[in-house]
Amino acid sequence: MEDIIALLKENVIQGRKTKDDEGVDGDSIGMPGVIELTQLALESNIPPEVIIEEGLTTGMQVVGDKFAAKEYFVPDMLASAEAVSGAQDILKPYLEDSDAMSKGKFAIATVKGDIHDIGKNIVATLLKGAGYEVDDLGINIPPEKIVEYVREYKPDFLGLSALLTTTMLAMGETIEALKENGIRDSVKVLIGGAAVSEEFAQQIGADAYCVDGFHAIKVLEEFQKVKA
């Protein structure tokens, strides 16, 4: 059992989703990847919670460390996160209480007027890989739609993305709209994107500014600690 979990962790680090992926050195083709190993672990009666915590999550932590050390870059990190995401989809039906395994519900959107998609998708994929239940609302999402969503689906966290100086103002409008509707305190608001900064986050009353997806994970962990 330990072998399967160790292999699983190693393949998460290598970003090998399936047996067809090349991994770091390119000599692993044909060896089982994260998807095959997850299935094998289930067949070997390893509890899904153990597969997630000891295989997937610890693997992603190493990926995060490598990213921080500039040994890994965004594509490497995405390869790992996509592999983990695939494994989670397999495991979900086997979890007795899938909500208990989720670290919280994270809604993410690119704000009104902004059509940039990629950065938001990277963060969404990474957060999903880190164990959050992620709802991607899309691009060019007006404040009223976000208010409607928060009211109905009650996410724990809301991530707002904007790339331009012309569109970042819509982040402030979104936070104001949450306030006006009396639901600002129901959700932690995190912002990110090329044009925004820590100062801007404070100015518009966001709860945090995140430089990138891994920073967002750290910020979320801090929130969890405070909550606990």
Partner 1 sequence: MVNMEKELMYNDEVKGVPEFSLAGSIQEGIKIEIDKAEVYRHLGYGREQDPRAGILSIVDDQVCKAYEFINPAAYYTINPITSVGSPEVSVGELHFTSHNLAQVFSGCSQAAIFVVTIGKALEMEVDQLTKEGSILSALVLDTVGSVAVEKVADELESMFRDFAAAKGGKISWRYSPGYCDWDIAQQKELFRGLDGNPIGVNLTDACSMKPRKSISGIIGGGEFCSVFSACRSCNRKNCPNRREEFLAND
| By CB under 8 A, residue 82 contacts partner 1 | yes
| By CB under 8 A, residue 185 contacts partner 1 | no
Helix or strand or coil: residue 169?
A: helix
| By CB under 8 A, residue 68 contacts partner 1 | no
| By CB under 8 A, residue 25 contacts partner 1 | yes
Using CB under 8 A as the binding criterion, the count of chain residues that bind partner 1 stands at 33
For the CB of residue 102, give the shortest distance to partner 1 in the complex, in Å: 19
> What is the C-alpha to C-alpha distance for residues 15 and 28, in angstroms, rounded to an integer?
11
Backbone angles phi, psi at 138, to 5 degrees: 110, -165
Closest CA to 86 of 158, 161, 154, 20: 20
- Single out the residue of 14, 38, 88, 161 in contact with partner 1 (rule: CB under 8 A): 14
Tokens of 139: 């691009």
Non-local CB neighbours of 189 within 8 Å, separated by 6+ positions: 157, 158, 160, 175, 178, 206, 207, 208
Q: Is the separation of the CB atoms in 100 and 130 below 8 Å?
A: no
| By CB under 8 A, residue 24 contacts partner 1 | yes
* Residue (5 or 162) nearer to partner 1, CB: 162
Site for partner 1 in 118-177 (CB under 8 A): 118, 121-122, 124-125, 164-167
Backbone angles phi, psi at 76, to 5 degrees: -65, -45
* Residue (150 or 204) nearer to partner 1, CB: 204
- Single out the residue of 47, 113, 142, 205 in contact with partner 1 (rule: CB under 8 A): 113
Which residues here bind partner 1, judged by CB under 8 A?
14-16, 21-26, 73-76, 78-79, 81-82, 85, 113-118, 121-122, 124-125, 164-167, 194
